[in-house]
Structure 1
Amino acid sequence: MVRYVINGVPEYHITVEVKESAPSHQLAGKNIIVTGGGSGLGYYIAKRSIAEGAKILITGRNEDKLKKAALELGKKCSYLVFDSADVSHMSEFIKQVSHIFGGKIHGLVSNAGISLHEGNFRNVTEEGWDSQMNINLKGNYFMVKAYIEYLESLDDKNGNVVVITSERSRRSDDIPYGLTKAASNSFIECFASKVISEGIRVNGVAPGVTASDMTGVDRNGNMYANWQPSNRFFLPEEVAEVVNFLLSDVSNCISGEIIACDQGRYISHW
């Protein structure tokens, strides 16, 4: 206490070093969609998948952002402007992507999502509820549904889905973002049980608070977070490693799982 009185409350500063596995071309020959791939986590998932040999198509609503991302990601990345809340055109979207790839779509990363950060239920509006439900839950649900139906129309039905949820999906919640993610966990597990016999895998990845525009965490700033088990936020590259593993054939024994990427913070006794 004397030290605090004299010196004040200590300030902690943490930087996070990017640690990535060496590319081993685990996704060579695969065509993969990454929704919400123009920035944030989706961008880094696309980047990692390209490093592993995949061809990627990123989607989003902002064409300027998609153009910039595709240019940075290189010749193995293409883009298509599409609103993940546009349920009525999901099947047409999948067909268009298949045409762009010139062949089968081997994987889907359903990543598009928004958060309005209401804090608690007292700040939730009907408009905010609807916008988050439409993109995070309804949009992801019908995107996965359309992709599975596309695979089922092929002779070779094998395919792979990874849905990005959140650590909030593992806890009770009172705001739409967390509720959409909890419901997503449920449909991931159920879809997976109904299609694995056809060779279609469905899994989820539930990141902790990851540096991005949506979270407001600056990857180049102080990554200290005293409420995290390891006192830090996470980098999108870390989460992209897990997604890449699930997209690859080396994880063929895994389906219907929700893998939390928050160092166990969601576990209640923490």
Structure 2
Amino acid sequence: MTAQQEQEQEQRGQAGRQDTGRVALVTGASRGIGYGIAQALVARGDRVVITGRNEDALKQAVESLGAGRAIGIAGKAHDEAHQAAAVQHAMEEFGRIDYLVNNAGTNPVFGPMAELDLGVARKVFETNVISALGFAQQTWRAWQKDHGGAIVNIASVAGISASPFVGAYGMSKAAMVNLTLQLAHEFAPGVRVNSIAPAVVKTKFAAALYEGREEEVVASYPLGRLGVPEDIGGAAAFLLSDDAGWITGQTLVVDGGIFLNAGF
């Protein structure tokens, strides 16, 4: 799809969009999977608060999502002050936070676990897991405890299967799956909590896993392609919708069928 076609599609969507009156906070959403999720939510009529570290990228994302539909709060996901500020801005701007999507993450190391720097491992957990808990706590206190809502945590297939050379990332995503279970149990019945475990999605974040050898990587996927952010955006939008009203504590694997090849 060309840039002009994308713009025309967005304009058509805005013209026919219904405002749901609901608000989502999506972390790490200036690009990639987080932005794809924000797009899906705005397209169905939600408003979004997105976070990210790069102010310029965040500004561009907000402009693309549409005036009045989105606001951006820059900061580091693991910073408790940033977490509090994002939730506060959401409440001040929109007066509610129906949905939380914990997408912010990092994977700064590639190599065997025997050589993993423990300081780096701590950083991975701080950003990928502890920050998600912090945002969940802040959102719970500000709105969801009294009004209900839903949370989606972005995990990974690396969190439910051995993934050579990205072990620290995989451990953190396994913890994210368990965090989902814990919060689903504790926040019920008012708040549903689920997670999504994607395989390789074509983003800058995952580029090292496929760039220069995409055909080789794609060959292991029964559906014949890598994921794109829109695939995860649609899954998240469903889990945050009333159609998923009897689903909680689950991890939805969105993997192009790659797990079908396990053991072969």
TM-score range, shorter chain: 0.7 to 0.9
In the alignment, the residues of structure 2 paired with residue 260 and residue 193 of structure 1 have an alpha-carbon distance, to the nearest angstrom, of 20
In the alignment, the residues of structure 1 paired with residue 136 and residue 100 of structure 2 have an alpha-carbon distance, to the nearest angstrom, of 8
Match of 1:150 among 137, 142, 165: 142
Greater relative contact order: 1 or 2 (C-alpha under 8 angstroms, separation 6 or more)? 1
AA at the equivalent of 1:248? S
1:229 corresponds to 2:237:
no
Match of 1:255 among 226, 248, 253: 248
The Cα shift of 1:130 comes to: 2.2
Describe the superposition over 1:11-43 as per-residue Cα deviations: whole angstroms up to 9, x where unpaired. xxxxxxxxxxx9796872111111001011111
Describe the superposition over 1:82-139 as per-residue Cα deviations: whole angstroms up to 9, x where unpaired. 22101355345322321122x1111111100011251321442233212211100111
AA at the equivalent of 2:161? R
AA at the equivalent of 2:199? G
1:47 corresponds to 2:23:
no
Pick closer, same or farther for the CA change 1:81–1:167 going to 2, 3 Å.
same
Give the match for residue 30 of structure 1.
Answer: 22
Gaps of 5+ in 1: 1-21
Q: Which has the greater radius of gyration?
A: 1
CA contact (8 A) 2:221 2:257 kept: no
User: How do 1:204-243 residues align onto structure 2 when only pairs under 5 Å count?
Assistant: 204-216=195-207, 217=210, 225-243=218-236
Match of 1:61 among 53, 61, 65: 53
1:171 corresponds to 2:161:
yes
Percent of aligned positions with the same letter in both sequences?
27
**Equivalent position SS for 2:100:** strand
CA RMSD of aligned residues (A): 2.6
Give the match for residue 192 of structure 2.
Answer: 201
Gaps of 5+ in 2: 1-11
The Cα shift of 1:204 comes to: 0.3
The Cα shift of 1:152 comes to: 5.2
CA contact (8 A) 1:112 1:135 kept: yes
In the alignment, the residues of structure 1 paired with residue 42 and residue 144 of structure 2 have an alpha-carbon distance, to the nearest angstrom, of 26
In the alignment, the residues of structure 2 paired with residue 190 and residue 66 of structure 1 have an alpha-carbon distance, to the nearest angstrom, of 31
CA contact (8 A) 1:141 1:184 kept: no
Match of 1:159 among 149, 156, 180: 149
Describe the superposition over 1:156-202 as per-residue Cα deviations: whole angstroms up to 9, x where unpaired. x21110110101111145721000000110110121012222x1111
Pick closer, same or farther for the CA change 1:96–1:78 going to 2, 3 Å.
closer
More off after superposition, 247-256 vs 170-179: 170-179
More off after superposition, 206-215 vs 225-234: 225-234
